[in-house]
Structures are given as structure tokens and as C-alpha cells.
Amino acid sequence: MAIEPINMNEFQELAKQALPKMYYDYHTGGAEDQYTLKENVEAFSRILFQPRILLDVSRINLSTTVLGYNLSSPIMLAPTGCHKLAHPEGEIATARAAAACKTIMVLSCMSTCTVEEVASSCDAIRFFQLYVYRRRDVSAQLVQRAERCGYKAIVLTADTPRLGRREADIKNKMITPELKNFEGLMSTEVDSEKGSQLEAFASEILDPSLSWKDIGWLKSITNLPILIKGVLTAEDAVKAVDVGVAGIIVSNHGARQLDYAPPTISVLEEVVQAVGGKIPVLLDGGIRRGTDVFKALALGAQAVLIGRPVLYGLAAMGENGVRRVIEMLRDELELTMTLCGCCSLKDIARSHVQTPRDRLRSLL
Ligand SMILES: Cc1cc2nc3c(=O)[nH]c(=O)nc-3n(C[C@H](O)[C@H](O)[C@H](O)COP(=O)(O)O)c2cc1C
Ligand SMILES: CCCCC(=O)C(=O)O
């Protein structure tokens, strides 16, 4: 290997070298002008620390729980489709890394290994991410298969009534790989030769009529707890609590859906306040450093999820790469906690960070 990655940017560089352009672009890209893509990362850099000193930090504990499951750190794996585009072992390699790091993997329903293959590959704690299809029966079968083979929660992605406009994928005529979960259930072929085939496929299968009342339907077909992914406002957070879901993921889909949606870290606090501690709030989008994880926790997230970093690790070095990505962020978080004077995650407080809004308020 050419370079030994020392941070996430270097992992990204290795992934770029390892992958065909079409796949690398698919992994890294965002929607339209990619304003939100840049902001997801940059908004973290506008939050500064207010570190505390002279607090015995000789022992740091990063462990936490999410929905009652014990994790070695508050860093989980976000659902991302098509892992075989990054590495031939696909989602199985990712799951094994999650198991080795004792964290939760959220498996995308658009995976290139089946829910059963991933379940039998290792003992990782797994959640199942669901898109609701026009063919509700197909969605229901996937949920029931996931429940049967030990997935612990359903993550309903609610920000994708259609796929966002990802211009690199359009130019590259992004292909849809074999999505193994649909074998024997639904064809993944599309007629169109133009533009992104993935987008054409998505618009054929995704159900844009999905609405709040369908949470009742989802509850009627599964006993698993349901999390809603894609919440960006206090109003929707209140609705999510009202319909009785078990958790919320503040997410803008890694800036791949609505461009000019706010960076997730900038809306986290208002969502957390609206939820009022009734259910856990998680966050994804733009986490590239342990300092980012700390900032999200200080603003009220129970844990964070990482999307692209996992794919970079997977593309660069397979299972071992994913493990090293998680460990890198975990080590950086540990150092951040040490330098901020926090021995455990519950010591991380709102007063450890200063947001742009705080600075504005102090001027008034
Ligand atoms: C290549 C790629 C594929 C994705 N596929 C899915 C998916 O199948 N389902 C889903 O809910 N979110 C999907 N996402 C969004 C992620 O779950 C997550 O919200 C996002 O990647 C977080 O931002 P980050 O990449 O900056 O960490 C995908 C993201 C990427 C980059
Ligand atoms: C058809 C959906 C593909 C996976 C996805 O959600 C993404 O690329 O962001």
C-alpha cells in the first residue's frame, strides 16, 4: 500500500485510487450544487471547544448504549447501499468489522449481500434500514425476513420519496448493481439507457405516497422498534414522538437528497429540545473526526452514524479498513475527551462547545 492513512481524508484518497471513477463518484457525491455536502463537514468546523482543565483524565470510558444495546463507542455504521461496489466481500466485510468493534451496523435494504447472508456472517448487532416501495408487499417481506434473522430495529428512511439529483451519477450513467434482497421478488432492470440508471430504478420502485399514517402500517407488520431517519426540523421531531417511534436520526442523507438542506449539526439542538429526552436522537452527516463526534454528543446526540468513511475503509482495505476507520474515529474521540476534561460520555456537556449561535448571542 502506498500510504498509511493517518486521517479520514487519507482514507478517502486511498478509496479514490482503489475504485473505478463511476463508483468513487457514487460514494462521494452529493445532490446538485453539493452545497449541503460541503456544509455538512464545514458546519462542524464552526463549532469550537470550551475545554476544562485539571480534571483527572487518566481513564477514559467511551462505552454507551443505544436502544439498550451496549456499544464500545457512540459511533455506529449508517446504512449505505451496494457495498460490493466498494469491495467484493460487500456488506459481510462491513458487518464483521462492526462486530469486531462492538458497534451497530445499519444494513441498507439496497444491499449487495442478502439480509440472511449478513446475519449469518457474524454476531454484529444489526438494524435494518427500509425504503418503502410501491410494492408494499416487498417492503413487508424484507422487514419480516430481517426480523426473523435477528435484526434489532427498523430504520425507516423518510427523506427519499424520489432519489436526489446527483449529477456525477447522471454523467457516469451510474449502473444499478445486483441488489440481492430482491431476488425472486422484484426486477432490478430498467429500460432507460439515459442518465443514472440508479435514479431511474429508484423512481420506478420507491413509493412517494409514503406518509405519517404509514407508521401505523409499519408497526402492524413488525414487533421491532422503529427509528425514523431524515428528521431535520423540530416540527417533524414532535410528530415522530407523537406517532410513537423509538428513535430519530437527524440526517440529510449525506447531502444526497435535497441540496441546501441545512447541515445536520446545525439543526441537532433544536430537534433534541423538541424531543425533550422522550426518545434517543442520533445524527449522521459529515462526521470525519473524533472532534465531530464529541460536538454532536455535546449538542445532545446519543450517538452518531458514519456513511462515507465506512465505504472509504471498505474500498481501501476491506473488513480491516472498516475496522481501522471506526478505530481511528474512536481514538480521536478518546483524545478529544481527554483534552476537554471528560472521562465518560455523560461528562460531555453543552458547555463544552461554543456554536456560531452562542457567539452571536454573546454579542447582543
Ligand atoms: C454511497 C451512499 C449510499 C447510501 N445509501 C443509503 C441507503 O441505502 N439508505 C439510506 O437510508 N441512506 C443511505 N445513504 C445515506 C447514509 O445513510 C447517511 O445518511 C450519510 O451517508 C451520512 O453522511 P456521511 O456520508 O457524510 O457520513 C447513503 C449514503 C452514501 C454515501
Ligand atoms: C436507490 C437508493 C440507493 C441508495 C441510496 O440511498 C443512496 O445512494 O443515497
The tens digit of pLDDT for each residue in 248-280 reads 999 999 999 999 999 999 999 999 999 999 999
Whether residue 40 has its Cβ less than 6 Å from ligand 1:
yes
Burial 75-97 (b: 16+ CB within 10 A, else e): bbbbbbbbbbbbbebbbbbbbbb
The CATH homologous superfamily of the domain defined by 8-363: Aldolase class I (3.20.20.70)
Ligand nearest to the CA of 129: 1
The residue behind cell 473505478 is 20
pLDDT at 3 over 80: no
Is residue 273 a known part of a binding site? Answer: no
CA dist 31 and 279 (Å) reads 30
110 lines ligand 1 (CB under 6 A): yes
To test the pocket of ligand 2, the residue of 28, 157, 198 to mutate (highest count of ligand atoms within 8 Å of its CB) is 198
Distance between Cα 329 and ligand 2 center (Å): 24
Which residues, 6 or more positions from 278, have their beta carbon under 8 angstroms from its beta carbon? 241
Give distance in angstroms: CA of 360 to centre of ligand 2.
Answer: 37
Residues 6+ apart with CB under 8 A from 8: 288, 289, 309, 312, 325, 328, 329
Q: How confident is the model at residue 190 (pLDDT cuts 50, 70, 90)?
A: confident
Residue 1 pLDDT > 70? no
| Model pLDDT, residue 2 | 55
47-67 mean pLDDT: 98
Q: Percentage of residues in the chain with pLDDT exceeding 90?
A: 96
Q: List phi, psi (to 5°) of 211.
A: -145, 175
> 294 to each of 45, 106, 308, 338, how far by Cα in Å?
12, 21, 19, 11
Mean pLDDT across the stretch 330-343? 98
| In the chain, domain spans | 8-363
Q: What angle do CA 241, 39, 164 make, to 5 degrees?
A: 70
What local confidence, expressed as pLDDT, does residue 192 receive? Answer: 74
| Residue 154: per-residue pLDDT | 98
- What residues flank ligand 2, with Cβ below 6 Å? 81, 110, 163, 198, 202, 253, 256
Q: Which numbered atom of ligand 1 lies nearest the CA of 286?
A: 26
What is the pLDDT averaged over residues 284-299?
99
| Average pLDDT taken over every residue of the chain | 97
Is residue 353 lining ligand 1, measured as CB closer than 6 Å? no
Instruction: Give the residue numbers annotated as catalytic, written as ranges.
Output: 253
In whole angstroms, what is the distance from residue 198 CA to residue 319 CA? Answer: 26
Per-residue model confidence as pLDDT tens digits over 119-161: 999 999 999 999 999 999 999 999 999 999 999 999 999 999 9
Percent of the chain with pLDDT over 70: 99
pLDDT 10s digits, 6-17: 999 999 999 999
Query: 97-120, pLDDT tens digit by residue?
Result: 999 999 999 999 999 999 999 999
- Does pLDDT of 346 surpass 70? yes
Report the separation in Å between the CA atom of 238 and the middle of ligand 2, taken as the mean of its atom positions: 26
Neighbours of 182 (CB within 10 A): 19
Report the separation in Å between the CA atom of 81 and the middle of ligand 2, taken as the mean of its atom positions.
6
> Is the whole model's pTM more than 0.95, yes or no?
yes
User: For 222-233, what is the mean pLDDT?
Assistant: 98
Confidence of residue 188 (pLDDT cuts 50, 70, 90): confident
Task: Say yes or no to pLDDT of 286 above 60.
Answer: yes
